[in-house]
Structure 1
Amino acid sequence: MKFFDLKNPLWWMFLLAFVLCLFGSGSSIIYILDEAKNSEAAREMLQYGNVFRPTFNDVIRTDKPPFHYFFMMIGYKLFGVNAFGARLFSALFGTLTILMTFIFTQKHLGDKIAKITFWILLSSFYFIQEFHLAVPDPYLIFWMSLIFFCYIDFFISKNVKILWLLYFSMGFGVLTKGPVAIALPTLVAFVHLILVKQFTFKQILSFKPFLGLILVLLISVPWFYLAHIETQGVFTEGFFLKHNVARFQDKMEGHGGSFLITIGFVLLGMLPFSLWIFRALFLALKQKGQNKFLFFCSVAVVVFVTFFAISATKLPNYTMPCYPLIAIVLAWFFNEVLNAKSFKGKYIEWAFLILIAIALPVAGYIGLSLESSLESKKWIALLLVFIPIGVVVAFYCFIKKNFVISFKIISSIFIGFSLLLFGFVFPQLTKESPVEKFKESIASHRPVIVYKRMDAAFPINFNRTYKIVDTVEEIETFFKEFPNGVVMTNTRNKDEINELSIFNQLFSQKSLFENHTTRVYEKDQSK
């Protein structure tokens, strides 16, 4: 059956997933720090025509390899330099991840569990949100998921074509996020082979690791080598030492904390069904002899989450490549266990889900009230009242043994939540960002410089780079040359802010959900 045959359910699943992953991607501006820096680096790469020297505001950017930049540049070519162009292929790779998960699950666990997996992923609003962002993670999630699926598929079937797809994926995974695309799958495979008592020389050689490594290096090394030459070693040192080794050993940018934070990220990332993950993993890990595919998925989840739990730097997106595997474990659990009459303590997770559902509109209202720039938007939180109502209805259906209807209601509620977030809530909130206020308040023809630092969202939203100065004397020189110019800053240093009091402040606007404020000044014409 051909994929584009409309009778093929894969076509409709692809379309549904793509619409959900893409919906609202062009409705809100780029304002998150990571999105701003990644999308701007792609814009500058396109503008300067140099794919081996990534920069942000004309300064070499060593944070990430180039794979996502290439697709953002294609998006810019197709739809212009804007949020939609930057986010388009994130949505596509998210869709392919969901579809791929369905296909491998269907092959190894059957059609029913595959369909449940599909709906669990679509319902996980925080996971779906990642595919609305112009960052490398949607691409990494795809490649890492494909690596995991190819590994276990080859382990079971010994199909050599799948093995080469594994190493092909690993090579592009390295181009997406670096050595982690080799290290983590290798660690997962090592633990898995130990647990199934297959860690033998013969088994290892069956994976053709040396030929595989050659393929991975052929795909990834040329770009890193040319970037090393083009940046005179700056990218190599910054990326491999700072953004790989240092991130694991030391917390970066304040993103540290207890191992419980990582578990919390997983629960958030796969809500609403993640509340059943502990019970599901416990049972899935007992399937070593009965279900090779399921056992591997559960082992991979435990290893992946544990790795980032002990890592010094902790971020919500780090564990996302294992979320498709979590969805599979949950789907198996719901299919095999929830209908069992002997299921004990079955209301515990429901109690937490109802509390979370009630908390969403309440916390949203309080949170928006506390943000001075968003206080006028607090009414938006009231739109979320359908979530607790729907969850209570789903719980009632569960009590009445209508498990399928209960599952469908929960899925529908949280898919609707995603559509509301991406199509209405985020576009409304971003209207209060410093970028939007700057557009409203400052004429586009006025020259601009930056004092000390700026909100990272400005370059990509204005399609330009900014000169940064460090002294008031440089600002005064700028005003002599451009009397109608403006200077902006988001420095948090009080002394530096006081130094600018000799100028006329035009406006100030706090960044959304971040602890810095953009202030814009012009020359005081009275002096």
Structure 2
Amino acid sequence: MKDYRLILLWLFGGLLFLANLDGNMIYILDEAKNAGCAREMLEKGDLVVPTFNYELRTDKPPLHYFFMMLGYQIFGVGEFGARFFSGIFGLATCLITFLFTKRVFNKEVAFWSTLTLISSLQIIIQFHLATPDPYLIFCITATLFLFYLFICEGKKKWIYLAYLMMGLGVLAKGPVAIVIPGGVVFFFLIFTKRFKWKEIWNLNPLSGILLLLTVALPWYLAVHFKTDGAWSQGFFIEHNFQRFTAEKESHGGPFFLPAVFVFTGLMPFSVFSIQSLKLAWNKKNEALLLSLITVGLFILFFAVSRTKLPSYTAPCLPFMAIILGYYLSQLQESSKLKLSDKFSIGFFIILAIGIPVGVYFAMKAESYLAHLDYLGLYFTPLIAVGGISIFFFWKNDFSKGLLSMALTFGVASLIFFHLALPVLDKENPVAGALPLMENFDEEEVISYKRFNPSFSYYIQKPIKIYKNFSELDVKIKKSKSPIYILSVTDNIEELQSIKGAVEVFRKKDLFERKTSVVFKVEANDLASSKESDNDL
């Protein structure tokens, strides 16, 4: 392994994980609610009770809120502060993957496993988001790496650090940080014929659980008592049990969808998935076995879950990257490509060509984005870079061919974050509406039934939601100052019936079914509404 390749690897990783973190608004629902919650906790000086739109938020535990609050204090409240530590945890996940694979395999496997992570567009996107998932991915990855090192080396520090990281994982996203790693350890002990009382006791479960609880339990108890149990009820029942047993927010899908998430999550090198999995199974290597169990358990667990999202299987991607990295380290030293490898490379070329074409047709498919069909042209360099890989493969220089594959998707990430996403971001309704809402920081802003959460993040004051029209009408009658009303077009007829209400803005939300609308009622029009007149 030449040192310059490692230097380039980490420069490449830093460039991608921190690429244009503030280049687009905090817009998508999860980001808006998580980043908004952290902003409100910082504003209140409250490290215990999470709120969004100044109402209790029970969706997630606080680890990512703490890091976002730190980001806000360092960089100011904004997109960069909200996302900075997500990018840092992405680099940290790659670093521990490199160090682990170097320790249990060699530098070559470490290089290719880490490059597999860094070159994945989905991984880079995942670690650009102001959500809890970057922190959970790191914690679960570290937990299982440390567990394996303890099994191999018997050093107590590894197992205690594993419990520590599991506790932090519980603070990141809850019971999943115990359930799935615990399942991986269980099956690993069974498959390696270590499932014996002596081996289990050697894992120090009592002192380990005590350490885990010392890390996580104080905050869970504090928020439970401070909210009279409301947070615990919402988090454990609605956002854990019900998400597993029932489809939430239309995020369902067929049972094989988690496997698709894993496959697409590590493009481009996941085109070698079948060969890599076969080699890992046949090698009978315990580190590869741990990786196989982790990937398999994540896929099976979320295959039976009724709610399915790409982020749910993301914590297994470092382990799939190890499986792929092990195979790539063998492939780059080969003298001849196998037929299966030729098919995989052919599929990669189809991907390189398909991305710009896919972007073009994706824009065309949405009428409100059809004028952005030119964004597909931004990705056409991928065809040329992908073509370079074909040249190297044809010359039997497989190492450079694989590096060209990684470069192709690295370029795709840079194009996406620096060129395409900022253009696309300007089309979101919040970006369009806020400049038209003059003096929204001074005038009252309310909502009728529902609104895009991103408004709350940028307006930075409570937005009261009115659930029925009569309550809204009373509110408007009593107000003596201008009011902005946020809603969606599902409620447009009722909003239009308000006397003096003027539609300020209307635009479809990006890649969603709803269309956001903003109405304004001036101070001199606040006497009554048409519906009230009809009632009289």
TM-score category of the 2 structures, normalised to the smaller one: over 0.9
| Residue of structure 2 aligned with 1:286, choices 282, 307, 320 | 282
Task: Name the amino acid aligned to 1:316.
Answer: P
* Partner Cα separation in structure 2 for residue 246 and residue 50 of structure 1: 28
* Partner Cα separation in structure 2 for residue 103 and residue 434 of structure 1: 44
| Residue of structure 1 aligned with 2:187, choices 185, 191, 194 | 191
Q: Over residues 342-399 of structure 1, what are the superposed CA-to-partner deviations in whole Å (9 max), with x where a residue is unaligned?
A: 7342222223222222221122112212334322222111111122332233134223
1:127 aligns with 2:123: yes
Contact preservation (8 Å) 1:156, 1:292: no
Task: Name the amino acid aligned to 1:510.
Answer: K
Contact preservation (8 Å) 2:139, 2:165: yes
- Three-state SS of the structure 2 residue aligned to 1:285 is helix
Structure 2: where are the runs of 5+ without partners? 530-536
Against the structure 1 CA distance between its residues 261 and 327, is the aligned structure 2 distance closer, same or farther, given a 3 Å change threshold? Answer: same
Contact preservation (8 Å) 1:106, 1:113: yes
* Partner Cα separation in structure 1 for residue 14 and residue 455 of structure 2: 29
Contact preservation (8 Å) 1:286, 1:295: no
Residue 420 of structure 1 corresponds to 415
Residue 4 of structure 1 corresponds to none
Contact preservation (8 Å) 1:472, 1:499: no
Task: Point out the more displaced range, 308-317 or 219-228.
Answer: 308-317
Structure 1: where are the runs of 5+ without partners? 1-6
Residue 336 of structure 1 corresponds to 330
Residue 3 of structure 1 corresponds to none
1:455 aligns with 2:449: no
Q: Over residues 51-84 of structure 1, what are the superposed CA-to-partner deviations in whole Å (9 max), with x where a residue is unaligned?
A: 2211111221111000000010111111111111
Against the structure 1 CA distance between its residues 199 and 424, is the aligned structure 2 distance closer, same or farther, given a 3 Å change threshold? Answer: same
Against the structure 1 CA distance between its residues 19 and 355, is the aligned structure 2 distance closer, same or farther, given a 3 Å change threshold? Answer: closer
What displacement does 1:278 show? Answer: 2.2
* Partner Cα separation in structure 2 for residue 93 and residue 491 of structure 1: 39
1:362 aligns with 2:352: no
Q: What is the aligned-residue RMSD (CA, Å)? A: 2.2
Task: Name the amino acid aligned to 1:302.
Answer: G
What displacement does 1:484 show? Answer: 3.1
Aligned pairs, number:
519
Q: Over residues 234-286 of structure 1, what are the superposed CA-to-partner deviations in whole Å (9 max), with x where a residue is unaligned?
A: 11111111211222222211111212211111122111111211221121012
Percent of pairs with identical residues: 37
Residue 137 of structure 2 corresponds to 141
- Give the structure-2-normalised TM-score: 0.92
| Residue of structure 2 aligned with 1:380, choices 347, 353, 375 | 375
* Partner Cα separation in structure 2 for residue 374 and residue 456 of structure 1: 22
* Partner Cα separation in structure 2 for residue 98 and residue 500 of structure 1: 55
1:19 aligns with 2:15: yes
* Partner Cα separation in structure 1 for residue 498 and residue 406 of structure 2: 52
Against the structure 1 CA distance between its residues 494 and 436, is the aligned structure 2 distance closer, same or farther, given a 3 Å change threshold? Answer: closer
| Residue of structure 2 aligned with 1:245, choices 238, 241, 259 | 241
* Partner Cα separation in structure 2 for residue 353 and residue 12 of structure 1: 23
Contact preservation (8 Å) 1:22, 1:91: yes
What displacement does 1:466 show? Answer: 0.7
What displacement does 1:178 show? Answer: 0.6
Task: Point out the more displaced range, 169-178 or 416-425.
Answer: 416-425
Contact preservation (8 Å) 2:164, 2:211: yes
- Three-state SS of the structure 2 residue aligned to 1:319 is helix
Q: Over residues 157-185 of structure 1, what are the superposed CA-to-partner deviations in whole Å (9 max), with x where a residue is unaligned?
A: 11111111100100101011111111101
* Partner Cα separation in structure 2 for residue 26 and residue 484 of structure 1: 32
Task: Point out the more displaced range, 485-494 or 505-514.
Answer: 485-494
* Partner Cα separation in structure 2 for residue 51 and residue 187 of structure 1: 31
- Three-state SS of the structure 2 residue aligned to 1:508 is strand
| Residue of structure 2 aligned with 1:85, choices 74, 81, 86 | 81
Against the structure 1 CA distance between its residues 77 and 315, is the aligned structure 2 distance closer, same or farther, given a 3 Å change threshold? Answer: same
Residue 323 of structure 1 corresponds to 317
Task: Point out the more displaced range, 45-54 or 24-33.
Answer: 45-54
What displacement does 1:340 show? Answer: 5.6
* Partner Cα separation in structure 2 for residue 203 and residue 294 of structure 1: 20
What displacement does 1:206 show? Answer: 1.1
For residues 143-182 of structure 1, the aligned pairs below 5 Å read 143-182=139-178
Residue 200 of structure 2 corresponds to 204
Runs of 4+ off more than 6 Å:
7-12, 524-527
- Three-state SS of the structure 1 residue aligned to 2:96 is helix
